[in-house]
Amino acid sequence: MGKKIAAFGEVMMRLQVPGYDLLSQAGTLVYSFSGTGVNVMSALARYGHDGYLVTRLPDNPLGDAAAANLRKLGVAQKFVVRGGSSIGMYFLENGFGARPSRVTYAHRLESSFNTAPDNVYDFAAIAGQLDAAHFCGITLAMNDSVRSQLLRFAEAVKARGGIVAFDCNYRPSLWGENGYGKAKPYYEKMLGLADIVMMNEKDAMHVLGMPAKAATREGQLEELIPEAASRYGIAAAAGTHRSVNGDNTHSLRGYLYKNGAFHYSDLLTFSVYDRIGAGDAYASGILHGELSGFAPERTVRYAAAAAMLAHTTTGDTPMASEREIERAMTQAAGDVER
Amino acid sequence: MGKKIAAFGEVMMRLQVPGYDLLSQAGTLVYSFSGTGVNVMSALARYGHDGYLVTRLPDNPLGDAAAANLRKLGVAQKFVVRGGSSIGMYFLENGFGARPSRVTYAHRLESSFNTAPDNVYDFAAIAGQLDAAHFCGITLAMNDSVRSQLLRFAEAVKARGGIVAFDCNYRPSLWGENGYGKAKPYYEKMLGLADIVMMNEKDAMHVLGMPAKAATREGQLEELIPEAASRYGIAAAAGTHRSVNGDNTHSLRGYLYKNGAFHYSDLLTFSVYDRIGAGDAYASGILHGELSGFAPERTVRYAAAAAMLAHTTTGDTPMASEREIERAMTQAAGDVER
Amino acid sequence: MGKKIAAFGEVMMRLQVPGYDLLSQAGTLVYSFSGTGVNVMSALARYGHDGYLVTRLPDNPLGDAAAANLRKLGVAQKFVVRGGSSIGMYFLENGFGARPSRVTYAHRLESSFNTAPDNVYDFAAIAGQLDAAHFCGITLAMNDSVRSQLLRFAEAVKARGGIVAFDCNYRPSLWGENGYGKAKPYYEKMLGLADIVMMNEKDAMHVLGMPAKAATREGQLEELIPEAASRYGIAAAAGTHRSVNGDNTHSLRGYLYKNGAFHYSDLLTFSVYDRIGAGDAYASGILHGELSGFAPERTVRYAAAAAMLAHTTTGDTPMASEREIERAMTQAAGDVER
Amino acid sequence: MGKKIAAFGEVMMRLQVPGYDLLSQAGTLVYSFSGTGVNVMSALARYGHDGYLVTRLPDNPLGDAAAANLRKLGVAQKFVVRGGSSIGMYFLENGFGARPSRVTYAHRLESSFNTAPDNVYDFAAIAGQLDAAHFCGITLAMNDSVRSQLLRFAEAVKARGGIVAFDCNYRPSLWGENGYGKAKPYYEKMLGLADIVMMNEKDAMHVLGMPAKAATREGQLEELIPEAASRYGIAAAAGTHRSVNGDNTHSLRGYLYKNGAFHYSDLLTFSVYDRIGAGDAYASGILHGELSGFAPERTVRYAAAAAMLAHTTTGDTPMASEREIERAMTQAAGDVER
Amino acid sequence: MGKKIAAFGEVMMRLQVPGYDLLSQAGTLVYSFSGTGVNVMSALARYGHDGYLVTRLPDNPLGDAAAANLRKLGVAQKFVVRGGSSIGMYFLENGFGARPSRVTYAHRLESSFNTAPDNVYDFAAIAGQLDAAHFCGITLAMNDSVRSQLLRFAEAVKARGGIVAFDCNYRPSLWGENGYGKAKPYYEKMLGLADIVMMNEKDAMHVLGMPAKAATREGQLEELIPEAASRYGIAAAAGTHRSVNGDNTHSLRGYLYKNGAFHYSDLLTFSVYDRIGAGDAYASGILHGELSGFAPERTVRYAAAAAMLAHTTTGDTPMASEREIERAMTQAAGDVER
Amino acid sequence: MGKKIAAFGEVMMRLQVPGYDLLSQAGTLVYSFSGTGVNVMSALARYGHDGYLVTRLPDNPLGDAAAANLRKLGVAQKFVVRGGSSIGMYFLENGFGARPSRVTYAHRLESSFNTAPDNVYDFAAIAGQLDAAHFCGITLAMNDSVRSQLLRFAEAVKARGGIVAFDCNYRPSLWGENGYGKAKPYYEKMLGLADIVMMNEKDAMHVLGMPAKAATREGQLEELIPEAASRYGIAAAAGTHRSVNGDNTHSLRGYLYKNGAFHYSDLLTFSVYDRIGAGDAYASGILHGELSGFAPERTVRYAAAAAMLAHTTTGDTPMASEREIERAMTQAAGDVER
């Protein structure tokens, strides 16, 4: 039976140059609407849960377009408020081989979400209708008002016995100079509230300032995650290690730390079509496993397969069904299905 | 000098989602018209033969569009009749890497071909104008009326001294439950009529129910094909073994069994752009070799190169010219031609 | 406060040739999902009601795409069931000036909706959750099973005190030879159940066989509608008269007959971009006015303005908001809004 | 029963900027293959005749593309030869309202047709298989070699009892300075050979240097055409008068002069989508009427309706079927057909 | 001989939904870069002047794309500075008939231009290289810093003997509540500096608060413009009156007041393809006439024809050449040019 | 500080079939304007130099489009003259895997550049404004008039102390039969004038007829280049060795021979998106290094990285900035940049 879960976060308009042209060469853009919260809620809705978004959209044709596309993705809009006149945007130029993809953010500060009045969401009422809520470190990086809203919502969920999930998702460019120092107190508050945390050893070392003895990232992970889980009372921690290979493929291994034990997926190596949002697919898989009571081994393999498939579809938002993920957990790539 | 050959079969409208979007994400489709008979006749026309299609197209704009596109492909329409109002369709979503392509068939039962009245084709008159005719196991799977038409046409060709070619092309999803049992009598009739047969060890084992001692597919092939050829009086049998590799490439080796000897192409490994219809390209190569009196070694190498190139062009229908196939038989991939 | 209303009907896949090419010239199609029920429910959802669709969609990528696009249009899917493998389709070639648009239907008989098992919808339970339900004469033309489902659903709604709306929408090509005679008994049953009916003098004369003395369509309307309303106990009857002008414009006047009086909109003359679905926009306006308790004069003007605007947007489904319709009721076309 | 008719002329590649962009704004082009001969043969094939083209196409991918598209248009290629490496081209920028469309020709001199060796066509053999042949004044403007080929072909047809049709189609930009003087002797030769001629009073006055007393074009037409017909022994002369109206519509009236009498179509006024090739549609209609033995009144009305419809479809080549033309001869523009 | 002229103003990214879809229906956008300064400088460059833009573009791929496209439009970038990270944007949904076009602005406050440091432009040095400069009331509406920059630049040009042109272009939505009152002092300063002013009677009445006795806009214009010209020392004032007609056409008449006399263009009525930027085309025509010493009657007719043609091309920026404008001054719409 | 450099050469219109369709399958083309001179000047402009083109463009919409696109690429047009009516073109069909890309040239002989009158360029005046000029062997292959212009320009630059750069770029298909013999005298003249030469051992062996003892291309290079440099007085010679690998990657190593020593880049292996123009990117890198006084090791590594990146962007013209090239010199392919 599906659970009721909400995400708090901004809706971004993704404006992508088609094919491999640069923005200075092309004349058209493909647009869609995403964001960590959108991506995770859409995936969970696809897996059978009720996924709500708590956000603010502009009251104009841009907001109408965002709302229509979120509906298409299966995201419930009962808790979406309308107001303001702007939406965060990013422009994406696809890389090819030796040329990396480029993301250019535009106009995040003016967005309806980031300029929402403090009392615009009724967090207590919302929390009362939920089994769980999902938060992301990107939202923490926005401004004081948004940070305060996020924390109040997380506290309200916690107070009503809901599960709090938090994805560290630290983005250096958003926090600016001395970012780790600025971010640490907010991250610590959220880790203290969170039951399920998406993180890896880099978050522990850089944001939380935990020293590591091990030299490899694998060693650092096994050294630091149990310590962080213990320090902040985290029931389940999960994340991935990714390598970008020379031949247009990536390799990825997921981990889930729970009840004192690490569980790993296989190392998956796969061709990459659209890399953005794959981390949200992994998080969605972990949340689905945890909300549905999967065994940890199954959860981590499900999440890794979901992340792998998210690299093969268009857009930030995961599109694979539960059936497709399960098939990918067991089969090699095959011939056309007909 | 080119031969006169006809194929009996359905024209399908292929509706392909462009790029790598899913049908639930996209808003446009690219359409073309194909079918085993279309593909083989178009390729043979490109190699210098007269390729006719014997089929029924709807008498409406869908039929007009099919007819215009078949003309473009070089398929002669002297034996095409018009009537009914519908055409078989399939939707194609391109896979990427770990995500396989998906084919969704629509509306095959209502098609003008599958609902053609029994007397709509004058098989005797048609057969009298041909050197050869080509049939496909997909057509056998449709319904009793179509099966009966197919067999009557094959018999008429045989009776007038024409060459009968038959591609087993067994599709489990079309025959449904207990499919092998249902299919066997029709396949046996066609094998009894056919001079040239496209098949491999799986057809022998599953459709014809022939037991194999060998453990590998290569062994089974060499064990069963001579037996089948002998049992049904087949002059030439041919087919391929395909492997789907992890890195977006396929490997393919063709065989031709004739006069008691097996002839093989090299194992070709190549990147795949559009996999559908590649089997028809192989069949076209075998037919061209046989109709033109090639030595068997050349025929099998020609057919394998034609199949390889068919993976590199858009659409189901092979587009390579004889000159391009011959170059591919001898050269590695090269730099741009200018 | 919005009402809860459901429509019973088929979802159609519209496959439109872009621009002014013919199907035999083009190579791409633009697709969307519509149907009378879809159009009316989407419009009512846009006006603030809860609009549900009661239908059956295939359990494959075609069904997934339909479901996603219906969500985007705001149509609630609580009562949508999945099963079967096919969806009704129509191809649209845009006309230009002296060349009329062409619609080619495909594969309606095989559709999941038209082949739904009898017990697949729980009409009693659905009716219990509704204020109103909407039915269409196109659905009546399908087959006995669908006709029987439609009537059972209408009776269930009526039995629970809900409002029954019926759009006569007689399509000669669907009923075939002696269509009026075949259709009449079903239409009479539905008119007997319906509170709100979309019809005009032609339905009265041809389907119901009512003789008219008046020579003009305006006279026939005023003569026959009151008689039909009285005979079948219809609370409100509404419809339009349309003229196609020589200069790419249409003229349209709406009527609403209620409580013994006729109410008319102005005669609106406007340029036409996409004509299909405009009748559904008119019906939606009438339903919205009736469900919301508008005065009849306002209802008919609202419905006519909604119909006019539906000619100016892409696709079958009306896209105008209540605010836009109200502005169109009072203003002439203006300069760009910025 | 259809007739066998061939056209002698160049195949042009039309490269059109989509929408209303200029060549300096856009980045894509839509291409097709046309030419007076292509257009007339395609239309006659659609009306049930066998339409052949006598031309030379390059032996490279441009020639392959032209051949495939001519097949699609129904033009028979038995008499097409391959050689040379180039094809005539023109770029089309669509005008809008006050801004006229622009055509920019490129590279006509180098084309395979215009550089064909003298003996490349076997005109005697070709003429022996034809009922009629069609020629165009544009071809006369190319160079001495092509002019000589044209005349030899026309003489061969005439010698074998075939009908010779000639469209004056005088293009000032192709003949350059003192064009009328240069053109006159060739036009006179062709008029002497031709049975059916497309011309109007301007051709008579400017190319043939015939003085006119009347002041209006209608008067000049009735004054000069009988004189020209008599002087050159023309059995049937036909043409149109066109007016470009201010509101994006054109008005057109066709005439046919035969057996000493003028026959006129109605004055047709219609919206214009693609104007190029409409003259060829008119010529096709006249030829069809003459080849099929229509009464002159029907022929001229058929040709005018065919010309009108050719303004409503994409590309230079007429796309209307005989049934559509006949409906347009009798009906006003109507609502969508479904 | 061309003059050197610069415009001070923001570059806007125009993001247009193709065709007639709404932003909530479509998935692609066509983008271009414009702005009043861009449009006027591009047109003047096309007429033979050196047109510079003084602005600030972001130092990222958005700025690179703007710079490349401005180069394409012929705008000289010697005085463009790079810095900041954002660019003003607007989304355009094309209206059709009764449905007006919609413009949605996004993110203007954060733009590199509107956040430029005060000392980023060396106005004295720039002014020293110019014959004239162009300013727009839209820029005045931005913020105090930009207003101060604009005025300093205008003063620097004036001080060095350059011509100052000012387009009132009052936009109510940009000035907000009590906008006229806020705007008046800045407009008065600019009118005091300006030699050539684009304005009409509405600017005089609303922004400048001048009372009018006449009842018609024509009367008000002739009453107020001479008074304003006299009060602020304006050498030449010019503008247009526009009417939006019911049939997708607009009517426009231009005026030029100079040396105490009014000069008018004919009333031009024309079909509209892209209305945005047409006012800038008119201003460009006036500036070209004034900079080139045209007689006032020719200037106003040139400007009106330029404005008319700007409605027929894609994008905000005028694309017509001097030759095309001159032909449009004398000819009716004609047939295709070839 | 940037240098002033001009290239003498033809502008080509590139007409590319989108995706992987053949010209006979598709209906649209993507066009751009390039040429060796365009590519090298655009790259040098991007690196901070003033890059001029000396060429002749048609005085029609094709020329306008070329001029606008060259401006967009940053190529200065002070020395571009307008006249004639045609432009060189090539059609590009993208290969895939085993199917090579195809280039079909069209209409080069008629182009405005190749038919330019002898006195149309004032080479003396142009040379006086330059630090360097760039020439290409493709231009030498055109006709006597163009060859004579090229040599006169090179001599004028040399006479005024400018640097002469020459890219051998021998194209067999352009020189025809006995091409090496025809080309040799012109190549020898240019090598005598040139300071910087793009060449490799094949040019030395085939065009210059120098015999080689070494068996490998690496050995031949080290044997012949010093000899050629000495014989013709070449200060710097540079070029690449390329291998086309089986897996859609190419490998490339650059060399620079200067002051008696060879300098090599690493062997770079990379995925290829658009191969055409990569040689020009390499030449641009060499010229930039030489003009800017880089150490030879840095120059050759810069040029090789520039060539590698040119394979990853759309179109013939290199699009990478100096910053991007420098990053590619030091880093492996990375994750998305955001």
Interface test with F, best of B70, B250, B274, B314 (most F CBs within 10 A): B314
**Per-residue pLDDT tens digits for F74-96:** 999 999 999 999 999 999 999 99
Better-predicted residue by pLDDT, C97 or A212: A212
- What is the structure's pLDDT at A246? 67
pLDDT value of residue D109 = 81
pLDDT for the residue E334: 61
Residues above pLDDT 70, as percent of chain E? 97
Contact D72 B74 (CB under 8 A): no
**Whole-number pLDDT of residue C168:** 97
Chain D positions touching chain B (beta carbons under 8 Å): 68-69, 71-74
- The shortest C-alpha distance from D103 to chain F (Å) reads 9
Nearest to C97 among D315, D333, D336 (CB): D333
Q: Which residues of D touch C247 (CB under 8 A)?
A: 247, 249, 271
Distance from CA of C23 to the nearest CA of D (A): 11
pLDDT digits (tens, 9 = 90+) for F208-231: 999 999 999 999 999 999 999 999
Mutate to test the interface with A, among F72, F311, F314 (most CBs of A within 10 A): F314
Using one digit for the tens of pLDDT, what is the confidence trace for D73-113?
999 999 999 999 999 999 999 999 889 999 999 877 889 99
Q: Which residue has the tokens 């050959």?
A: B5
Residue among C309, C315, C332 whose CB faces E99 most closely: C309
Q: What digits encode the pLDDT tens for the residues C108-160?
A: 788 999 999 999 999 999 999 999 999 999 999 999 999 999 999 999 999 99
- Closest Cα in chain C to D310: C99
**Buried b / exposed e along C174-207 (16+ C-beta atoms within 10 A):** bbeeebbeebeebbebbbebbbbbbbbbbbbbeb
Smallest Cα distance from E174 to chain A, Å: 13
pLDDT at C246: 66
Q: Which residues 6+ apart lie within 8 Å of E144 measured at CB?
A: none
Give which of A71, A75, A317, A321 to mutate to test C binding, by max C Cβ within 10 Å.
Answer: A71
Give per-residue pLDDT as tens, D181-206.
Answer: 999 999 999 999 999 999 999 999 99
**Residue A248 pLDDT class (50, 70, 90 cuts):** confident
**Nearest chain B Cα distance for residue D67, angstroms:** 8
CA-to-CA dists, residue B299 to B255, B280, C212, E322, angstroms: 10, 15, 77, 66
- Nearest C-alpha in B relative to C86: B106
| Inter-chain residue contact C32 with B31, CB threshold 8 Å | no
pLDDT of A5 reads 98
Average pLDDT, chain B: 95
Q: Lowest mean pLDDT of D2-16, D290-304, F246-260, name the range.
A: F246-260
- Between E271, E314, E334, which is nearest D21 by CB? E314
Residue F48 scores a pLDDT above 80: yes
Judged against a pLDDT cut of 90, whether residue A109 lies above it is answered with no
CA distance F62 to chain D (A): 7
Cα separation, B229 vs B221, in Å, equals: 12
Residue C188 has pLDDT above 80, yes or no: yes
**Cβ neighbours of F329 (radius 10 Å):** 16
pLDDT on residue C333:
55
Q: What is the pLDDT of residue F248?
A: 73
Give A153's pLDDT tier (boundaries 50, 70, 90). very high
Which residues of chain E have a CB within 8 Å of the CB of F51? none
Identity of the residue numbered D175: W
Using a CB–CB cut-off of 8 Å, the residues of F that contact B are: 19-22, 24-25, 90, 95-103, 105, 171, 173, 242, 244, 246-248, 275-276
Is the confidence at residue A211, as pLDDT, over 80? Answer: yes
User: Measured between alpha carbons, how far is D98 from E311 in angstroms, rounded to an integer?
Assistant: 9
Q: Say if the Cβ atoms of E69 and F68 lie within 8 Å.
A: no
pLDDT tier at F59 (50, 70, 90 boundaries)? Answer: very high
Quote the minimal CA–CA distance from A75 to chain C in Å.
10
pLDDT in tens, B256-300: 999 999 999 999 999 899 999 999 999 999 999 999 999 999 999
Dihedral sign from CA coordinates of C306, C311, C315, C316:
positive
Radius of gyration for chain F, computed over Cα atoms and rounded to the nearest angstrom: 19
The pLDDT value recorded for residue C334 is: 61
Only one residue has tokens 């400018």, namely F162
Which chain B residue has the Cα nearest residue F103? B338
If you measure CA to CA, which chain C residue comes closest to A75? C71
Look at B71 and D69 and tell me if their CB atoms are within 8 Å.
no
Percent of chain D topping pLDDT 90: 92
Task: List the single residue in C with minimal CA-CA distance to E275.
Answer: C336
CA distance A338 to chain B (A): 5
Residue type, C299: T
> CB pairs below 8 Å between B and F: how many?
77
Please state the rounded mean pLDDT for residues C311-323: 96
Average pLDDT, integer, range B29-50: 98
φ and ψ of E10, to 5 deg: -85, 145
Q: What letter does residue D78 receive in the DSSP assignment?
A: T
What is the b/e burial string over C282-299, where b = at least 16 CB atoms within 10 angstroms of the residue's CB? Answer: bbbbbbbbbbbebebebb
Q: Is B112 helix (H, G, I), strand (E, B) or coil?
A: coil
| C178 or C332, which is more confident | C178
State the Cα–Cα distance between residues E19 and E24, nearest whole angstrom.
Answer: 13
- The closest of C288, C277, C268 to C333, measured between CA atoms, is C268
How close does chain B come to D312, measured CA to CA in Å?
A: 17
Is C313 in contact with E97 (Cβ distance < 8 A)? no
Cβ <8 Å between A312 and B24: no
With contacts defined as CB-CB under 8 Å, which chain B residues touch D73?
A: 68
Beta carbons of A24 and E61 less than 8 angstroms apart: yes
pLDDT score of B122 more than 80: yes
- What is the structure's pLDDT at A238? 98
Q: How many CB pairs under 8 A join D and E?
A: 76
**CB atoms A25 and F273 under 8 Å:** no
Q: What is the pLDDT of residue D282?
A: 98
Are D96 and E309 a contacting pair at CB < 8 A? Answer: no
- pLDDT surpassing 90 at residue B334: no
Closest alpha carbon within chain E to C330 = E98
C-beta atoms of B336 and F275 within 8 A: yes
pLDDT number for residue C89? 96
pLDDT tier for residue A330 given thresholds of 50, 70 and 90: confident
Contact in structure between D297 and D312 (CB atoms under 8 Å): no
pLDDT at residue F334 greater than cutoff 80:
no
Alpha carbon B124 to its chain's center: 24
pLDDT, tens digit, 9 for 90 and up, residues E258-269: 999 999 999 999
Question: What confidence score (pLDDT) does residue B162 get?
Answer: 98
Stretch F312-331: mean pLDDT: 94
pLDDT in tens, A159-168: 999 999 999 9
**Confidence band, pLDDT 50/70/90 cuts, at residue D248:** confident
Confidence of residue B109 (pLDDT cuts 50, 70, 90): confident
Q: Are E166 and E188 in contact (CB under 8 A)?
A: no
Q: Is the per-residue pLDDT at E333 higher than 60? A: no
Residues of chain E with Cβ-Cβ distance to C33 below 8 Å are: none
pLDDT in the model for residue D43: 98
Average pLDDT taken over every residue of chain F: 95
Mind telling me how many Å the CA of D89 is from chain F's nearest CA?
10
Phi, psi at residue F233, to the nearest 5°? 70, 45
Chain A residue numbers touching F308 (CB-CB < 8 A): 98
Q: Check A333 against B275: CB less than 8 A apart.
A: no
Average pLDDT over chain C reads 95
Higher local confidence (pLDDT), D138 or A245: D138
Strands (E), E186-322: 196-198, 236-244, 249-258, 261-264, 268-271
> In the predicted model, is pLDDT for residue D179 greater than 80?
yes
Mean pLDDT, residues E312-321: 96
| C12, pLDDT greater than 80 | yes
Return the pLDDT at D239: 98
Closest E-chain CA to A69: E24
User: Residue D250: what are its φ and ψ, rounded to 5°?
Assistant: -120, 155
Q: CA-CA distance, B85 to D256, in Å (whole number)?
A: 39
Please tell me whether the overall predicted TM-score, pTM, comes out greater than 0.90 for this model. yes
* C-alpha span between C301 and C253 (Å, rounded): 9
Q: Does ipTM come in above 0.90?
A: yes
